[in-house]
Structure 1
C-alpha cells in the first residue's frame, strides 16, 4: 500500500530543505538560470533580424555586426551555462552529503530492535543508491527546469502576442502530453519500485554470502547460494526491463506530439506567410520559440524516469525517517552515580517486541530479582535460551523492561543518561566485534583520549603485549575485516584490553571464553582476572569451571532464577546447578 505522504511535493520539500542551507549558492544558480533564459529568448531574434532586415538590404557591414553580436551572445550564454553547471554540482553535492549524513545519524541512533528486525543489505541500499537517486532532483539538468519554466511562461506570452492563432493551435498538444505522462507515470514508478526491492534482496544476499563464506564452503553450498542470487538478479532484471519498455514507448509518443506541434506551426505559419500576415523571419523565429516552449515539457518527460526512481527512493527513506527510537533519555535524566552500593533487579519481567499476537506469550525473563554488590562478582549460568544474555541487554538498556525496576545505587536505570550509563559499563562477549583497522585503533575504540602509556599498560594486563611486540608493525598491524587475521584468543585479548582502557566500574563477561579451546581459555583467564579486579562484575558462563570463584552464582531456567548461592552451596543442594555441573564434567 502506497504511503500517502510520499508525494512529489513532499519529496522536493525534503530535498530542498537541505539545498536552502546553501542560500548563496542557490541565489547564484537561480540568477544564472534567469540570465540563461534571457539569452535563450534573445537568440532567435538575431535569426529573424538577419532574414527580415539584413538580407533584403544586402548590407554586409550590418550582417557582420549582427553575426558578431550573435557570437558574443553565444559566448556569454556558454559561460553562464558553465558557471551554472559547476555551481549546481557543488550545491548538489553539499546538499546530498547533508542528507546522507542525516540519514546515517538517524539510523545509527535507532534502538537495538530496529537493527534486529532490519536487513543490513537493505539499509546499505537506502544509504547509498536511494540517496543517490535523490541527487537527480538537484542535478544541473533538474534545476535547469527552473530556467525552463521562466522560458515557458515568457515564450508563451510572446508567441500569443505575435500570433495567437498559432499559439492556441500548438497549445492543444499540451493536454495530450499530459495524458501520456499520466498513463505512463504509475507504470514506470511501479516497475522501479519492484526493481529497487529486488536490488535490496541482492544486496542482502551478497552481504550474507560474504559474512558466512566459511560456512558456505564448509557445506559446499555454493550452488544453492548462486541459485538464490540468480533468482534475485533475474527478478531485478525483469522489473528493470519492464520500466525500460515503458520508457521506450513513452519517449517516442512524446516526440510524436512535439513533431505534431511543429507540423501545426509549419502549416499555419506557411498559410500566414502566403497571406502576408507573417514574415519568413518571423516564422523561423516562431519555430525556434516553439522549440523553446517544448523544451520544458521535453526536459520534464526525459526526467520522468529519474523522478519516479527518486520518488520510490524517497518512500524507502521516509520509511526509515518515520521510525523513532523508544530507548531515550528521560526529561530529568541524571549522570551515572558515583557507584558505591549495588546494581539491583527488582521483580523484573521482559518480553521481546513481537509482530504477532501469537508471540506475545514468549516471555524472555519473568519476575527476576537479584543484586550485584559493589566490587562483587555474580555469575549467571543456565541452558541456552534461559534469559542470561537478555539480562545483559537490559543492564545496558538496549531494551526497556515491561515491569519491575533496575537500579544502580537506588537510581532507576531509566533516570540515568543513556550515554553516561553505557560509558560506565564494559562488555566482553563471545562474539568479539573488531573494526577494520589497526590493533591500536581497536584497543582505543570508544576511548579516543588514551595515551600510548595507557595502551602499553592495558596490553600487559590483557596479556597481549608480547604478541603485539612480535609483529613487524606492532600496534599498527591491520587486523583485517572483523579481525580475520587474528585467532579467537588474540581477538578476546584485544577486547579485554579495550574494556580495561575504558576503565568502567561495571564489567559484563558474556560467555567470553565459550568459543575458545581449553588451552586458550587458560591463557586468557589471567587477563580476565585483571579486568574484573576491584570492579563490579556479571559473568555469564557456559563453562561452569570458570565461575567457581564468583561471590554468587545465579542459576536461570526459562527466564527465572531458580537457585542462587556460592559454588559450594549449590553443589551441596544437589539441585539444578549440580545437574548442570555433573552433565558438563561427566
Structure 2
C-alpha cells in the first residue's frame, strides 16, 4: 500500500487529465455495453413491425448509432493520445526526481553502485513505469465497468446460467492470481539482469581504449555475452511462465463457452430460455470475457512496471550520508583558516584510514602533503569539501565546523584540480564555463589566459567552440589539465586543493601547468598532494603522511636537514638512489 500511495502522488499534477481520461473510458464502456441491448430492443420491437415502420425508423436509428460511434472515436483518441502523454509526463517527473536524487547521494553510494545499473533505473525501469501509469487505471476501470455491466445484464437474461458462468470465472481468477504471484520474482530478476547487461556495456565502452590496448576485445565479448545470456535465460523463464499462464486462461475462456452452450441447451430444452436470448447472451459473454482477457494480458506490463517502481522507490528512499543540517548556515567571507582537530576516518566498516590527525593551515598559506600511496593524503583532502564525513574529530574553516555550514557554500569556497581530469561532452567554452554559471566570454578568456591555454585554443580551427570529445579524448593530458585549471580560475575560490595535478605529465606540460598553478595558488589557502617533490619545494609547510599518521612536518630545508622520510624520498628522485 505504501508503494501504491507513492505511485499515486505522481498523478496529482495531472489529476484533471486523469479524470478526463477516466470519463472517456466510462463513455467507451457504456457504448460497448449499450450496443447488444440496442440490438436486442430493435430485434424485439422494431424489426418485427411492417416494412413502412422499419424504413421510417431505420434512418433515425442509423444516425443515432453513428453519433454514438463518433463520440467513441473522440474518446478513444483522447485515451490513446492524452493518456499516453500523461504517462510520459509522469515518467519525466520521475526521471527528474531520480536524477536529482542521484545528484544528492554521497560518494559512498557511488562507491557501492555501478553507473550502468543506475542508467538502467533511469531509462528502462521508468519506461515500464510510464506504461503502467497510463494503462493501469484505464485498463482496470474500463474492464471493471464492462465486467460488472455485462454480468448484471447476463443475470437479467438468465440467473442460473450466469451463476454457473460465475463459478468458472472465480476459478479462472484464483488461478490467474496464483500464477501472477509465481511470476513476480521472475520479473524482478529480469530487471536485475538487464541492469547487469547495461552495466557491462557501459563499463566496456567507457574503457574501450584500455580494451584495445590489451587486445582484449574477445574477453569483453565473452563478459558481455555472459550477462546477455543470463538476461536471455531470465526472459526464457518469464515467457515459459507466461505461456502456461495465457494457455490456461485461454482454456478457461473456452470452458466458459462450453458451459454456456451446454447449460443454454438444457435451459432451452426445459423452456426457461429462448433461442434469441441465448444469442444476446453470447454477445454479452464476449463483452464479459474481453475485459478479463485485457487484464490477463496486462499482467506482464504490470509486473514490469511494479518491479521497476520498487527499484525506483529504493533509490528515492536512500538517505544521503552527507546532508545539510536544519540549522546549517552559509559559509561567507571565507579567509581560509583551516584546522583539522583529532580527525579519524574509515570507509564503511574497514579499519581507520586516518587516526587522530591534527593539522592547522593559516589563511593564504600553501601546505604540501607527501608520502606513500594509501597513507591517507587524498582522504584528508576529500574530507574538507565533505565528500565524506569524519568518523571522529572535526574540521573547521574560519572557526566554523564544516558540518554546520551548507554544502553549496562550502564547496563553492573550495576549488579542486585533480590528476584525473574529467571533461564533459561539449565545447572547450562549455568546459571552462563549468567553473562559473553564467560566465561572460571575457571571463572565460581571462581564465584561459591565466591557465596558459588561451593561445592553444585560438590555434584550433573552431577556437573556443572546438569539440573536446567524450571525456576530452581529442585533447592531450596537459591540455585537459590546463582547462581544468581554467575552470578553477573562473570559480575563483579562496581555498584550493591540488591533488597530484602534474604527476602524469611530461616535463614541458608540467612546466606550463606549474606556472599556472603558482599563479592560481597566490593569496589562496592551498593544499597540495604531490609525488614530484620538485613541485612543492616552495611550500610554506610540507607534511609527511604515512599509514601511521603524520610523521614529519616543516619546510623543504628543515626536512632535508632532518634526514628523515622526506629527505629519503627527495634523494630517491633527484640522486637516482634505489
TM class by smaller structure: over 0.9
2:544 equivalent to 1:555: yes
Structure 2 match to 1:191: 186
Cα distance per residue 1:168-220 (max 9 Å; x no partner): 01101122212321332233222222222221111111111111112211222
Residue of structure 1 aligned with 2:462, choices 467, 473, 479 = 473
User: Does structure 2 retain, via aligned residues, the 8 Å contact 1:364–1:559?
Assistant: no
Once the 2 structures are TM-superposed, how far is the Cα of residue 94 of structure 1 from its aligned partner?
1.1
Instruction: Name the counterpart of 1:434.
Output: 423
Partner residue of 1:370 out of 359, 369, 384:
359
* CA distance in 2: counterparts of 1:559 and 1:70, whole angstroms: 88
**Per-residue deviation at 1:140?**
4.1
**Aligned position for 1:226:** 221
Are residues 1:175 and 2:170 paired? yes
2:158 corresponds to which residue? 163
- 1:44 and 2:36 are equivalent in the alignment: yes
The residue aligned with 1:98 is 93
Task: Report if the CA contact (8 A) 2:108-2:321 is conserved.
Answer: no
Q: Is the partner of 1:546 in helix, strand or coil?
A: helix
Query: In the alignment, what sits opposite 1:3?
Result: none
Tell me, what secondary structure is at the counterpart of 2:300? helix
Note the aligned Cα RMSD (angstroms): 1.7
Tell whether 2:31 aligns with 1:35.
Answer: no
How far apart, CA to CA, are the structure 1 residues paired with 2:245 and 2:565?
A: 73
Whole-Å separation in 2 of the counterparts to 1:221 and 1:486: 25
Q: Quick one: which of 230, 233, 239 aligns to 1:238?
A: 233
Deviation at 1:326, TM superposition (A): 2.2
Instruction: Find the counterpart in structure 1 of residue 476 from structure 2.
Output: 487
Q: Is the 8 A contact 2:154 2:281 kept in 1?
A: yes
TM-superposed CA distance for 1:77, in Å, is 1.6
Q: Does 1:307 align with 2:302?
A: yes
Q: Distance in 1 between matches of 2:508 and 2:403?
A: 41
User: Structure 1: which 5+ runs fail to align?
Assistant: 1-8, 355-359
Partner Cα separation in structure 1 for residue 178 and residue 196 of structure 2: 29
Q: 1:142: how far off?
A: 5.4
Q: How far is 1:464 from its partner?
A: 0.7
Residues 448, 454 of structure 2: 8 Å contact kept: yes
Q: Secondary structure at the match of 1:215?
A: helix
CA distance 1:173–1:10, shift in 2 (3 Å): farther
Matched, 1:395 2:381: no
Task: Please name the residue that 1:583 is paired with.
Answer: 572
2:486 corresponding residue in structure 1:
497
Q: CA deviation at 1:495?
A: 0.3
- Equivalent in 425, 428, 442 of residue 453 of structure 1: 442
Is the contact made by 1:363 and 1:559 (CA closer than 8 Å) also made in structure 2?
no
> For 1:143 and 1:554, how far apart are their aligned partners in 2?
67
Deviations 1:448-499 (A, max 9, x none): 1211111111111100110111112111111111001100011011100000
Asked if 1:353 corresponds to 2:348, the answer is yes
Name the CA distance, whole Å, in 2 between partners of 1:312 and 1:260: 32
2:556 aligned residue: 567
86-95 vs 270-279, greater mean Cα deviation: 270-279
1:124 to 116, 119, 131: 119
Residue by residue over 1:522-549, the C-alpha shift from the partner in whole angstroms, topping out at 9 and shown as x without a partner, is 1211111111111111110011110000
Q: Using a 3 Å threshold, how does the CA distance of structure 1 residues 193 and 144 change in structure 2: closer, same or farther?
A: closer
**Cα deviations across residues 120-172 of structure 1 (Å, max 9, x unaligned)?**
11111111111111112123475132122122222222222232112101101
Structure 2 distance, partners of 1:16, 1:273, is 49
Corresponding residue for residue 5 of structure 1 = none
Alignment deviations for residues 364-417 of structure 1 (CA, whole Å, 9 cap, x no partner): 111111111111100000111110000111001011111111111111111111
Where in structure 2 are the equivalents of 1:108-119 lying within 5 Å?
108-119=103-114
Q: Which residue of 2 aligns with 1:380?
A: 369
SS in 2 for 1:337: coil
Asked if 1 retains the 8 angstrom alpha-carbon contact of 2:136 and 2:302, the reply is: no
Contact 1:111–1:327 (8 Å) recurs in 2: yes
TM-superposed deviation, 1:285 = 2.3
Which residue number in structure 2 is paired with residue 328 of structure 1?
A: 323
Cα distance change, pair 344–582 in 1 and its aligned pair in 2 (3 A): same
2:519 maps to 530
- Please state whether the residue corresponding to 2:353 is helix, strand or coil: strand
- Counterparts of 2:45 and 2:384, CA distance in 1: 88
Q: Any conservation in 2 of the 1:425–1:504 contact (CA below 8 Å)?
A: yes
Q: Work out the CA distance in 2 between the residues paired with 1:376 and 1:75.
A: 80
8 Å Cα contact 1:202-1:232 kept in structure 2 = yes
Equivalence for 1:53: 45
* 558-567 or 175-184, which deviates more: 175-184
Could you tell me whether the CA contact under 8 Å between 1:428 and 1:496 is conserved in 2? yes
Task: Give the drift of 1:11.
Answer: 4.0
Q: 1:13 aligned to 2:13?
A: no
The residue number in structure 2 matching 1:208 is 203
Whole-Å Cα distance in 2 between the matches of residues 555 and 95 of structure 1? Answer: 54
Give the Cα–Cα distance (whole angstroms) in 2 for the partners of residues 68 and 269 of structure 1: 35
In 2, Cα distance between equivalents of 1:86 and 1:149 = 22
**Equivalence for 1:6:** none
Matched, 1:513 2:502: yes
1:52/1:281 contact within 8 Å kept: no
Indicate the SS of the match to 1:172.
helix
Question: 3-state DSSP class of the match of 1:346?
Answer: strand
Tell me: CA distance 1:446–1:462, structure 2 relative to 1, closer, same or farther (3 Å). Answer: closer
Offset, 1:10: 4.1
1:389 and 1:213 map into 2 onto residues whose CA distance is: 27
Question: Could you say which residue in structure 2 is the equivalent of 1:66?
Answer: 61
Q: How far did residue 108 of structure 1 move?
A: 1.4
SS at match of 1:74: helix
Residue 318 of structure 1: how far off its partner (Å): 2.5
Q: 2:87 and 2:41 mapped to 1: Cα distance?
A: 39
1:77 aligns with 2:72: yes
Match of residue 260, structure 2, among 259, 265, 271 = 265
8 Å CA contact retained: 1:387, 1:559: no
Q: More displaced, 373-382 or 326-335? A: 326-335
Give the whole-Å Cα distance in 2 for the aligned partners of 1:228 and 1:153.
52
CA contact (8 A) 1:84 1:140 kept: no
